[in-house]
Structure 1
Amino acid sequence: MVELSPLAPAFLLLAFSEIALGSYVLMKGRLSPVNRSFFALTLLAGVGSVLDLMVVSVGSEQQAAWTFRLLVFLLIVEVGVAYRLSTMIPHPIPMILFGTNRWAYELSVLGISLATALSVGDMVNDDLGWVPASDLPFALLAFLLTIYLVLLTMTLFRRWSGLQGLKKRQAVVITGALAILAVVTLAIMTMAAFGIEVPRIYGLGELVSVFLVAYGLLRYQLLVPPRVMEPSVPHRPVPSLVKGRAYLFEFSSPDRMFESVAHEMAGGMSAFIIARTHPDQLRAKYQLMHTPILWLAQTPGPDRMDPSNVQMLTHMTMGFVRKGSSVIAMEGLEYLMLNNDLNKVLRFLAQLRDEVIVEGSILLVSVDPRALTERQRAILEREMEVVKE
């Protein structure tokens, strides 16, 4: 038998708010792995709030035990998702111990979650609902939440030297926001241990946490490059380009494409450059002091992108184009093809080309024709207008 607690409206409001917030952020960037991870975090938090309600509402000890086990399992999975999210923003870095091995990390989180959940045995009913009769589940939870806070702090310190100005403040805000869910849970558990009776509404800390993370993602658009207008002087004549078109520059060097970017910027357009050439070289050569340049590199760091992360690349370029008419320039398509399935790269280009047409922007892609097969070259030439000697 289930008799809802008088606090049921509060629990349900928390659950609804958490899931609604995650859904809103997901709709703002369905292609972003960060937005999808955030949605998973809010979904787990929402389900956890419902389970909080069930723990104080169920009538039998057996029901309470299984509900609490599920609650503990999902809470640790949620913390695992939160730590993974902390390694993705404001720029991706490898996880501590697991590096980039996501599968090993996720299996470890699931194993730890299951083991901790199974530590829940007999239950007792107090004035605030059911709780485990043994202190073991709470001790394990406290230990794991403390480890989580340590990992968050270490992750912040690891990326600190590579951040400057606003990005440092953003990293602190995101880390602090993700820490809140653990801090509030630990605070409630500590007060209960000292006999201070407070409603066990763990979802309150989760709601504050996900709200602040969502604010950071949407307000600062952490994963979408800023639009900048700056004069850039081309060094030689360039072909005339038309808005709403995609161009394939077939040259052994990307210089002609970058000259075209400089020409369009001199006319007042903003640009976003994706390149294998180091950004410092491009900035020095074309006087691009503030234009966002994303370096395709497997070494993690600010303004860098692992070439295998095509989903994030799609999210960033689409978000930039949707801000207004602009130039997207890509050098290093061969490198993307080398690190991904060809069809995935072609889908990315097709999506970007379609978005460029709709928004009246310009897409420039530079390739060395000698590095392509006849089939690859034919597909690219069918999708874009060719510029060559």
Structure 2
Amino acid sequence: MSQEEDYARGLLKGFEEGQQDAWEEIIKLSTKGYTSRELQIMAKTKKSMMFQRVKLKKDELERVLGRKLDLPELTSEAAGKDRVELMPGWSYVVKEERPAKSFALFSSLVSSGARGLCISRAHPDMLKKKYGFDASVIWLTKTETPQKATDQKGVEFVSPNNLAHLASSIREFLSKGENGAVIIEGLEYLNTQNDFKSVLKFVQLINEQIVLDKGFLFVPVDPATMDPKDFSLIEREMSQVI
């Protein structure tokens, strides 16, 4: 078989796999009950992460081949104008009414091999069903004997008033190694259950751990639900505002 035929076969196989992955993702998203607006946000976010997934695939091939590959980078058009480059040790506050974009970023990392930890006031079963991620969950609830989740494995229950315990659980997760992705969905809820200074210190503490352990932190926030001065202080603590 000629070199040209090898190249053509590889190109066609890659094209086929790309098409299959894209359609499977569309089918998966369409069965989650998203609104059309949420679907649009999720799709755009996943497109913005495409270049990063290609880079991971390239790294995988280089490990298998045992050498560096001299391949062109994705063009800005292919990667998307609003591409989001995620950096280890960085924290991101995502301004949005619903956490669709944040979970798309989080899910993309987890599906690419990152360890995931989700902190949320929503029921773990609902979260995993809607956003389709496989990660540990900390459920923020004041109920002492919360309704049993379908799958108790990897689910922890923490009171929103117990920021010290929550911080300890996150730090323990991150300390297990690099490539840990954390999403805190419910910062507004924590803010209503504690004084803002305590919440800010909590965010600062988690940020420090993210830097030390080279993890990733996503904090979706609807700015309309917070005092502008408080939200400004949260923004200052984060590596990037999306």
Equivalent position SS for 2:43 = coil
Matches within 5 A, 1:131-210: none
Structure-1 separation of matches of 2:126 and 2:206: 26
Structure 1: gaps (5+ residues):
1-231
Aligned to 2:232: 378
Aligned to 1:314: 167
Query: Which residue of 243, 250, 255 maps to 2:95?
Result: 250
- 2:128 maps to 1:283: yes
Structure-2 separation of matches of 1:308 and 1:356: 22
Matches within 5 A, 1:1-389: 235-238=42-45, 239-289=84-134, 291-301=135-145, 303-325=156-178, 326-388=180-242
Query: What per-residue deviation string (whole Å, max 9, x for no partner) do you get for residues 218-265 of structure 1?
Result: xxxxxxxxxxxxxx9885242221111010011001111111011111
Query: What per-residue deviation string (whole Å, max 9, x for no partner) do you get for residues 279-331 of structure 1?
Result: 11111123335x21111111124622110011100110000000012001001
Letter in 1 for 2:43: R
TM-score under structure 1 normalisation?
0.38
Structure-2 separation of matches of 1:344 and 1:373: 15
Letter in 1 for 2:140: L
What RMSD over aligned residues (CA atoms) do the two structures have, in Å?
A: 1.9
Query: What per-residue deviation string (whole Å, max 9, x for no partner) do you get for residues 123-176 of structure 1?
Result: xxxxxxxxxxxxxxxxxxxxxxxxxxxxxxxxxxxxxxxxxxxxxxxxxxxxxx
Structure 2: gaps (5+ residues):
1-24, 30-41, 46-83, 146-154
Query: What per-residue deviation string (whole Å, max 9, x for no partner) do you get for residues 265-290 of structure 1?
Result: 1221001000122211111123335x
Is the contact made by 1:246 and 1:353 (CA closer than 8 Å) also made in structure 2?
yes
How many residues matched?
A: 156
Is the contact made by 1:250 and 1:386 (CA closer than 8 Å) also made in structure 2?
no
Letter in 2 for 1:292: S
Greater RCO structure (CA 8 Å; 6+ sep): 2
CA offset at residue 386 of structure 1? 4.1
Letter in 2 for 1:311: A
Structure-2 separation of matches of 1:384 and 1:282: 24
CA offset at residue 382 of structure 1? 0.6
Letter in 1 for 2:226: L
TM-score under structure 2 normalisation?
0.61
Q: Deviation above 6 Å: which 4+ runs of structure 1? A: none
**Percent identical:** 28
CA offset at residue 371 of structure 1? 0.4
Letter in 1 for 2:112: G
Structure-2 separation of matches of 1:327 and 1:335: 21
Query: What per-residue deviation string (whole Å, max 9, x for no partner) do you get for residues 100-121 of structure 1?
Result: xxxxxxxxxxxxxxxxxxxxxx
Letter in 2 for 1:324: G
